[in-house]
Structure 1
Amino acid sequence: MLASISKASAQSVWMAWESVFDQITKLRSASMKKFGICKLVIRRHHGKSVECHDGHWIHSGDWVGELHLDNRQVLELSREVGADRAALLTARMLRRSMKQISHAMETDPELAQVKALTGITLLHRGIIHGLGFELHPLDSKGFRMFSTYYLRLLLRVLHPVGRRRMKQNAPKLVPKMLMMTRQSLFSRYNKEAAA
């Protein structure tokens, strides 16, 4: 009982922090758009150039769409239907969001300059196979350490069995950069829409 109250309190604090983070994100980006369970932050790529699997390059200064899960929706789903069912529903919602983003990147002039979608995640196995993202290592040691700590804390606070999962899988929970070029996005999700 006490543990569940403590967990709920930690989750409330985290959600308050995410509201602040959203405001900070809006200030450091060109714009932020919402597509279902995803937030898409339009900003410039910083860091080393990245060669993608389809041969396209993303260079420092190129416009990218940085994907963020709406953790409030994920948390509400988890509370309503349980962690396992929530994971399945989140995956389905992510796929719908990707189709919406693909359509918007074809039709919205504000997204015309976006060359790729990016994101940072610990839980990358399902995302690369199910959604079509590539995985790239985080080159900056400082950013990699910060991302590891931040994302593990996020998992621990929001996931119902996050603490146990952390103990069992800590060595595997290493952050990676997700990448999908504009061309790969269209190739994958426009075909799905047409099917």
Structure 2
Amino acid sequence: MNMFATFSKASVQSLWMAWESVFDQMTKWRSSSVQTYGICKLVVKRHHGKSLECHTGEWIHAGDWVGELHLDNRQVLRLSKELGADRAALLTARMLRKSMQEISAAFETDPGLAHVKALTGITLLHRGMIHGLGFELHPLKSKSFRMFSTYYLRLLLRVLHPEGGARTKRQVTKLVPKMLLMTRQSLLLRYRQEAWAKGGGMAAIVS
């Protein structure tokens, strides 16, 4: 019998959040640091796997330090319950942009992030949620990792989204995971320019 027919949605969500608490602890063991910026968690770790060529011509090689981005799913779930799926998605996108601004500012000032060469992440929501944030999109090269990521992220969507099951079935061909990538230089340049356009904040910072 399907798990979602056996338990109530709330029960499944509670179980998932309990699993995420365990996963958070595991993440701390395998990383240099874990920091929170608004709705994002930044996991500083070494890149593993094949080298990545960025659109800027820079390369990320195995062993290089990267900042792996994760959405705080507890906040996402709370917003969805309080505001409904559509309003929560809009607010999450705004909060994500704010988090990127905070991360860029931290890259300017935090010595603990001086060695981080790029931001990375894996997402299904590359068609909407991250629009305009400046990320490059790359296919997942490892077949096994791509299959695992597809299953895991679709399951996450089913758990967190009020209509996750129906949405997954309707848009199954579009829900393909992609790697997000943004070099340190691209991050700082983009969000310095945004700060200048707003007339303050990071505009005053000169590296």
Q: Given the two structures, how large is their TM-score scaled by the length of structure 2?
A: 0.91
Whether the 8 Å CA contact 1:75–1:158 is kept in 2: the answer is yes
User: Paired residue for 1:16?
Assistant: 18
User: Paired residue for 2:77?
Assistant: 75
Match among 185, 191, 194 for residue 193 of structure 2: 191
Match among 67, 70, 86 for residue 88 of structure 2: 86
User: For residues 22-67 of structure 1, what are the alpha-carbon distances to aligned partners after superposition, in whole Å with 9 as ceiling and x for unaligned?
Assistant: 0000000000000000000000011111111111111111000000
**Structure 2 stretches lacking a partner, 5+ long:** 198-207
User: Paired residue for 1:111?
Assistant: 113
**Structure 1 stretches lacking a partner, 5+ long:** none
Match among 146, 149, 157 for residue 147 of structure 1: 149
User: Paired residue for 2:38?
Assistant: 36
Give the Å deviation of 1:126. Answer: 2.3
Whether the 8 Å CA contact 2:93–2:130 is kept in 1: the answer is no
The number of aligned residues is: 193
Distance 1:36 1:108 in 2: 16
Give the Å deviation of 1:129. Answer: 2.9
Give the Å deviation of 1:128. Answer: 4.8
Counterpart of 2:146, as a letter, is: R
User: For residues 141-168 of structure 1, what are the alpha-carbon distances to aligned partners after superposition, in whole Å with 9 as ceiling and x for unaligned?
Assistant: 1111111110000000110100000110
User: Paired residue for 1:165?
Assistant: 167
Q: Which runs of 4+ in 1 moved over 4 A?
A: none
Give the Å deviation of 1:127. Answer: 4.4
Counterpart of 1:43, as a letter, is: K
Q: Given the two structures, how large is their TM-score scaled by the length of structure 1?
A: 0.96
User: For residues 86-142 of structure 1, what are the alpha-carbon distances to aligned partners after superposition, in whole Å with 9 as ceiling and x for unaligned?
Assistant: 000000000000000000011000000000000000111124532111111111111
Whether the 8 Å CA contact 1:46–1:61 is kept in 2: the answer is yes
Answer 1 or 2: which has greater helix percent: 1
Distance 1:178 1:56 in 2: 15
Measured on the aligned residues, the alpha-carbon RMSD in Å equals 1.3
User: Paired residue for 2:60?
Assistant: 58
